[in-house]
Amino acid sequence: MRARIVMGLAALSLLGLGCDGQTSDTGASGIEITSSGIRGTCAEGVELEARDIDGVFDISARLNGLSLHSIVDTGAQLAELDGFAESNGQDTVILENDRALLLACHQTLEQLFGEEASLLENILVRSVSLWAETPDTLELRQSVQGEEGRSYTSICSLHNSYQYATHDGWWHSNWDSDATSIAKVGTREGCTYSWLNGRWTCSEPDHVPYVYQRGECYGNCGAGCPSGNQQLTWDCHDHDQCVRNGHSLASFWCNDEFISAADDELFAPSCSGT
């Protein structure tokens, strides 16, 4: 079940950020952290702004003529996402070059804020990470509802263990042999290793039945391996399985797995020691 936050993007934008001129920190990336929020430029021309409005987080990013927005209420575990073309206000999508910039921005923010990030900083990092994984076959307007144990399930305790992961499609269902892998949760090798022909190979096979896999933080929510602790959930484990077994990140076939993992990325806890 998905629900929409009562206060939409337009209403929040009327509240304003306010500028008191008090800068508490300025990162080398061009990100300024003030008592009013976070703003600045990240990566190559990605403009960011993040505000805490009475416990509701208003996040925006602008790049390549694209305007992205997320409104996140961590208390209610509700979020509203949207995006449009700045030239005409029409619906648009995140393309491959946009994702590359957002991924670079995400990595910069992670290193800037670190493990001691404030809640606002954490939600900014998570929002940018989610956009960096958003396929160009998916509409940007989404309403997301999270509930631990129901819409997402953390698997921190399964770190470094092999677990089944699966995806569906027109020609196969969840748990069909050719749509199922046995993947090691959360290991950090530099690529996805698959056990093929009696040895580990740095490759992503095309629907090989029950293939063993590991590496690249399999099961972590968001783009790539984080610099700190991972967010490990079942939905993110299945999304990784889809995009690493015959489908690309932007593949239409993995959209349902991505949507299922969106609330995990925004609300699932980090796993200590991962």
pLDDT tens digits for 69-102?
999 999 899 999 999 998 888 888 999 999 999 9
Domain extents in the chain: 9-145, 156-267
Range 254-269 average pLDDT: 92
**In DSSP terms, which residues pair with 195 in a beta bridge?**
200
Please give the mean pLDDT across all residues of the chain.
86
pLDDT of 9 higher than 50:
no
Q: How confident is the model at residue 29 (pLDDT cuts 50, 70, 90)?
A: low
Distance of CA 106 to the CA centre of its chain: 10
CA distances, 53 to each of 17, 127, 244, 265 (Å): 8, 16, 38, 21
Sorted by sequence, the CB contacts under 8 Å of residue 47 that are 6+ apart come out as 40, 41, 61, 62, 63
More confident residue, 200 or 138: 200
Please report the pLDDT score of residue 114 as a whole number. 83
Q: How confident is the model at residue 59 (pLDDT cuts 50, 70, 90)?
A: very high
More confident residue, 33 or 233: 233
pLDDT of 180 higher than 50:
yes
pLDDT tens digits for 109-152?
998 888 788 999 999 999 999 999 999 888 888 888 876 666 78
Query: Rounded distance, CA 133 to CA 131, Å?
Result: 5
